[in-house]
Amino acid sequence: MKIYLNAMFALCFVSISLTIKAQDAVSVPDLIKQGQELNQQKNYAGAIEKYKSALKLEPENARVNYEMAFALYSSGKGAEGVPYLEKAIKTGTNAQLSAGAYSLLGSIYSGANQFQKSITAYTNGIKADSANQRLYYNLGIAQYRAKQYSNAEQSFISALKLDSSYAASQRMYALVTFHQNKRAEALLGFCRFLMLEPNTAQSAEAFGNLQNILSGGSLKPEPGYKPSPATKAIADNQNKVLAKALSSFMSRRYASPGDLLTTQLKAVFTALGTMPNNKYYFADYFYKLSQTEHLPTFARLISQKAYPENAKWLKENAEKVTALENWMKDNKPVF
């Protein structure tokens, strides 16, 4: 009887031990989920511990390595995440995960002002996922910060081809053309950005740049940037076109700034939209707008941050604003 009881006790002990071990065992997917939840709660240290546990079980798991790098980046330790991203890229078989890893790698290098490494990372990410609009945008930002304005222009154009309504890409496209002194393209770009985002702090800056172009102001070359002869020739030609279109406005008087802006924009949109050659992005689009009754509303919409009377006019003419919005919904820029 004693032997039987001892055997039963031993079996119960083994059964209890196995149950406890089964309860303690957590799968890698569970650890990833717990880490993501902690990361969302900004408990980065807790998330990192979860990923450490997951990596002990599966050190080559690409998702875990990516999540570990993301948690480190979120906690301000981006540089420590680089080896994990390199492993995620090396072992990963999912194109979107690889693109995400390259994107995060690019952000880490950009934050450390290592722009060429950042550019390389984003470029590799695009090779993995060429339909990723955000990668083109991030690449353009890195090129912009490195004063590679011509390359940045092409990156933002690629981003806009994927999403023509993303205001941030539109703003940066306008800025990089402006920095190259390609003022016709910059003017069209700022107009499109202000159409998408007319009433923010960035709108005020964009409208200031637009006014600079319309008034014929000059942009001083930035230190460290030297345009190529081809870029300079393009810029000079654009400036001549604008100067001709705006030549008669200095001596005229208008009832309001909104009236002046409407007339200026109509002249510029007509000049750029009817050019037989050298068509610019958005030139056809804004020429089409200039031939409608919506142009005065558009002029007041994009200038409301600068002129309070235009903000008031927009409130008092809600039906005209709605008509412009409907036109915008029915008409999208074509690249």
Report the distance separating Cα 149 and Cα 129, nearest Å.
23
d(CA 126, CA 159): 11
Residues of 207-230 as b/e, b for ≥16 C-beta within 10 angstroms? Answer: bebbbbbbeeeeeeeeeeeebeee
Answer yes or no: is pLDDT of 186 > 70.
yes
pLDDT at 189: 97
**Average pLDDT over all residues of the chain:** 89
300 residue type, one letter:
R
* Percent of all residues in the chain with a pLDDT value above 70, rounded to a whole number: 91
- Domain residue limits, the chain: 28-93
Residue 18 CB coordination number (10 Å): 10
Q: Which residue has the higher pLDDT, 19 or 30?
A: 30
pLDDT tens digits along 58-81:
999 999 999 999 999 999 999 999
- Helix count (H) and strand count (E) of the chain? 18, 0
Q: Positive or negative CA dihedral for 147, 149, 153, 155?
A: negative
Q: Is the pLDDT of residue 290 over 70?
A: yes
CATH architecture of 28-93: Alpha Horseshoe (1.25)
134-181 pLDDT, tens digit each: 999 999 999 999 999 999 999 999 999 999 999 999 999 999 999 999
Work out the pLDDT band at 251, boundaries 50, 70, 90: low
State both tokens at 183. Answer: 């003022």
- The pLDDT of residue 250 is 60
Query: Which of 90-99, 157-166, 227-236, 243-252 bottoms out in mean pLDDT, i.e. has the lowest?
Result: 243-252
Q: Look at 279 and 105; give whichever has higher pLDDT.
A: 105
pLDDT confidence of residue 9: 42
- Closest to 299 (Cα-Cα) out of 328, 248, 259, 333: 259
- 12 pLDDT exceeds 60? no
Terminal C-alpha separation, the chain = 89
pLDDT at 5: 39
pLDDT number for residue 216: 83
Q: Which of 11-25, 216-230, 298-312 has the lowest mean pLDDT?
A: 11-25
- What distance in Å separates the CA atoms of residue 150 and residue 179, rounded to the nearest whole number? 10
SS3 content of the chain, % helix, strand, coil (to 5): 75, 0, 25
Q: How many Cα atoms are found within 13 Å in the side-chain-facing hemisphere of 134?
A: 9
Q: Is the confidence at residue 40, as pLDDT, over 90?
A: yes
Please tell me what DSSP assigns to residue 277: S
What is the Cα–Cα distance from 266 to 173, expressed in whole angstroms? 22
Does 17 have pLDDT greater than 60? no
226: pLDDT confidence band, cut at 50, 70 and 90? confident
